[in-house]
Structure 1
Amino acid sequence: MTTFDYGPIELYAIGFDGDRPGPAILQAVDDLVASGTVNVLDLVFVTRSLDGELSILELSDTSDDAGVPALDLAGLAGEDDIAALAEGVAPGSSAAVLVVELLWAKAFAGALYDAGGAVLAREGIPAPIVNAFLSEHVG
């Protein structure tokens, strides 16, 4: 069976009020890494000032602060990716651009490749929407 060095990768832009997410968010990401669910490849914080100016902070540019996840491929999110994902950041708010490897899907990707298969489409549905729908439609 084919063994890939990396599994599928997903990019997320996660918005926050204020200039940065709280420590609970970094802890949740760290928990996912510790459980072997994901591998954090890159993490960038963007902040839009009240006058509309965008500031970008690569997590790899910070000191070795406790609670900051280790990055496997810092810089993987390119400037164009960051700019596109940051378009929706409103003045006075911020976002984390998170690039994660889906470790849970790594072996499946190898088996899919060996079988001549390919993922043709993928659509994500955010948890709040799923939960709202199910609370209205399921017993």
Structure 2
Amino acid sequence: MDVGPVEYVVVAFPGNHFRGEIAPELRALVASGTVRILDLTFVKKDVDGVVSYIELEALDPTEASVFDDIEGEVGGLFSQEDLDLIAEELVPDSSAAILLWEDTWAAGMANAVRRAGGQLLAHERIPAEVVERAYQDAA
């Protein structure tokens, strides 16, 4: 089986205001075969700094409904240590969505590299702001 690179993202929501605008875009990525969801967990820090962890299936049905049509979600792949490290970075009265996905679009290439005996030496995402600035500087 070809397996693509696996990545995680952490998206913080100051004031604990998650409104669900991300879900339709995530749904489109999954439906197109671009990514496969492996885990989705939420971390919430209240105004007193008390942290709680919520798996997708434990969310309030109204909050969870924005993710209803998204295929995937093996779950349980984040360790408690992973979650604790992310929680440390959150300011009080904020939350974060922690998403682990497989880049299925790259599975064939990743498998070809493995078959050829290649080894990945570096892989890094370049922030959009950096790319935009580079384009502006080059113009």
Q: TM-score range by the shorter chain?
A: 0.7 to 0.9
Partners of 1:128 and 1:16 in 2: CA distance: 20
Further displaced range: 77-86 or 111-120: 77-86
TM-score when scaled to structure 1? Answer: 0.85
Q: CA deviation at 1:134?
A: 3.3
| Structure 2: runs of 5 or more not aligned | none
Report whether the alignment pairs 1:39 with 2:40: no
Q: Is the 8 A contact 1:42 1:72 kept in 2?
A: yes
Structure 2 CA distance, aligned partners of 1:26 and 1:10?
17
Output the amino acid matched with 1:134.
A
Aligned to 1:56: 53
Percent identity between the two aligned chains: 36
Whether 1:115 aligns to 2:112 is no
Gaps of 5+ in 1: none
> Deviating runs (4+, > 3 A) in structure 1?
62-66
Aligned to 1:84: 85
CA deviation profile, 1:53-112 (whole Å, cap 9, x unmatched) = 111111133459433133331111121111122321111111111000100111111100
2:14 maps to which residue? 17
Number of residue pairs matched by the alignment: 135
